[in-house]
């Protein structure tokens, strides 16, 4: 596909619908050039106000600068003839971490107690998540919604951080953000108190995530 500016885009074959949200749909597709599977987040920006359009475009720009094996790879972004914005990313073929935790929590040992993940497995996953967060912070990007639902898995054992929809780019490592965003289980105390927060807030969420992986449940009720 070639746009009016002469830029060539990949063409895709739709395989299935992965999910729907308030503004759009996520599709599993196959890239026609390399036959690799990918995910297209198709967003109806026509239904958004100006602020929401800016936030959506911001996610695409953030993904463009993140290049790391433990972060979902951005392929391209384009608009359809009907004006819908499409963000194309690599597909993770083994679901998300939240699903794995829920499935494991249902697994019981012979004594009826929960069958926890092995220590090696917990450390392997957590190390990969930490590497993704380090790369994100090195780029001065605050994720702001780190949770098991946003950690994606591949069948090769690779863990990938995704969903940068509410990420924030800070000017430097001492900068602070103030908007209260994120998922209640994982919010740091300074966010709950509506104080300025920084990269340390992602580290708090990282600790909550480690507890959840090890204990098969969040440390707090929300």
d(CA 118, CA 94): 19
Tell me whether residue 202 is one of the annotated catalytic residues: no
Q: Hey, what domains does the chain have and what are their CATH numbers?
A: 12-90 (3.30.200.20), 97-215 (1.10.510.10)
- In this prediction the pTM is 0.80
Residue 206 per-residue DSSP state: H
Answer for the pair 44, 24: CB distance below 8 angstroms, yes or no: yes
Could you list the mean pLDDT of each consecutive 10-residue stretch along the chain, which spans 222 residues?
Answer: 48 90 82 90 80 73 87 87 85 94 91 91 98 93 86 96 65 42 60 69 91 92 66
What is the structure's pLDDT at 104? 96
What is the structure's pLDDT at 221? 73
Query: Which of the following is catalytic: 3, 44, 93, 145?
Result: 145
């Amino acid at each position: 596909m070639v746009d009016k500016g002469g830029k060539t885009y990949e063409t895709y074959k739709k395989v299935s619908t992965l999910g729907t949200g308030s503004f759009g749909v996520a599709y599993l597709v196959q890239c026609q050039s390399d036959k690799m599977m990918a995910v297209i987040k198709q967003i109806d920006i026509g239904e958004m106000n100006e602020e929401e359009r800016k936030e959506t475009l911001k996610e695409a720009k953030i993904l463009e600068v993140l290049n790391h094996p433990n972060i979902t790879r951005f392929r391209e972004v384009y608009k359809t003839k009907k004006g819908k914005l499409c963000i194309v990313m690599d597909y993770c073929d083994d679901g998300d971490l939240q699903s794995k935790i829920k499935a494991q929590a249902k697994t019981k040992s012979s004594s009826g107690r929960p069958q926890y993940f092995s220590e090696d497995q917990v450390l392997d996953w957590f190390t990969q998540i930490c590497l993704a967060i380090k790369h994100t912070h090195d780029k001065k990007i605050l994720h702001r919604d780190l949770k098991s639902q946003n950690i994606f898995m591949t069948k090769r054992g690779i863990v990938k951080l995704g969903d940068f929809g509410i990420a924030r780019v800070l000017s430097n490592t001492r900068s602070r953000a103030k908007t209260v965003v994120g998922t209640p289980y994982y919010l740091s105390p300074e966010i709950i108190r509506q104080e300025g927060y920084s990269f340390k807030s992602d580290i708090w969420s990282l600790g909550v995530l480690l507890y959840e992986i090890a204990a098969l449940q969040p440390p707090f009720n929300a």
